[in-house]
Amino acid sequence: MRTANKVAAVSILFWLMKIVATTLGETLGDFISMTLNLGYTKGIFITLAFFILILSVQLSLKKYSPPVYWLVIIGTTTLGTEISDFIDRTLHTGYLMGSLILLSGLLISLFLWNKRYGNLEVYPIFERNKEFYYWGAILFSNSLGTAFGDFLSDNLGLGYMTGACITGVIILIVVLLHYFTKINHVLLFWIAFVFTRPFGATFGDLLTKPLTKGGLDLGPMNASLVSLLLMVIMIFISQRKYLETSS
């Protein structure tokens, strides 16, 4: 049985919410693994349980629900932080190798998606099987962003502010290419989607890390609360807009 569209339309509000969600995922992931001192392995199990739970709710719905959809996005960003940190730090692969591993996972998931459906269109999505590809690619992209953001900040010695600025400039360039060129919009979407994650990751590190390491020293809990408040406000706005356009 064909259902209604299940995912968010791509708009300016979508990108703003994506950036805040990635920042929240970075700070909340650090809060679970480091502030609570649970470690990356337990952090993965905790965030995976939440992700599976909220994804199950999302998959059971017959149409798009902004609160549930964005909770799944937050679930992918938080779980992605734990997956990336586990690969990079617990398995000691390092940020570069971790980024390459996760990039390979993302490319494979997009390849399989394209092979099955002949395109990588992200809106609208009706089929459950296609939605699995959608969320798999998003999880890989958010995990990759954490590793790549850490690679920019630590391995290249750019610092958190510089790393956030570099990824922010890349996102701006992609936006300009979208509006002023005829480059494939799906390709630009996935480039932007991938780079909003390291932007959020480096910005999250900027908020939480000590002053001696170039951060603002807000701590993971305070930074998570600020990001969560912003996210709740934008989910409310998104819900109102959706109800207005669907009524």
pLDDT score, position 7: 96
pLDDT score, position 3: 67
More confident residue, 98 or 216: 98
Identify the band that residue 1 occupies on the pLDDT scale cut at 50, 70 and 90. Answer: very low
Query: pTM score, two decimals?
Result: 0.90
pLDDT score, position 214: 67
Q: Give 3's contacts (C-beta < 8 A, 6+ positions apart).
A: 62, 63, 126
213 pLDDT higher than 80 = no
CA dist., res. 106 & res. 44, Å (int): 19
Q: Give 222's contacts (C-beta < 8 A, 6+ positions apart).
A: none
Summarised one tens digit per residue, pLDDT across range 95-147 is 889 889 999 999 999 999 999 999 999 999 999 999 999 999 999 988 887 78
The residue-averaged pLDDT of 36-44 equals: 89
CA dist., res. 20 & res. 204, Å (int): 9
Where in the chain are the domains? 12-246
pLDDT score, position 40: 85
* CA-CA-CA-CA dihedral for 91, 98, 162, 43, to nearest 10: -50
pLDDT score, position 206: 75
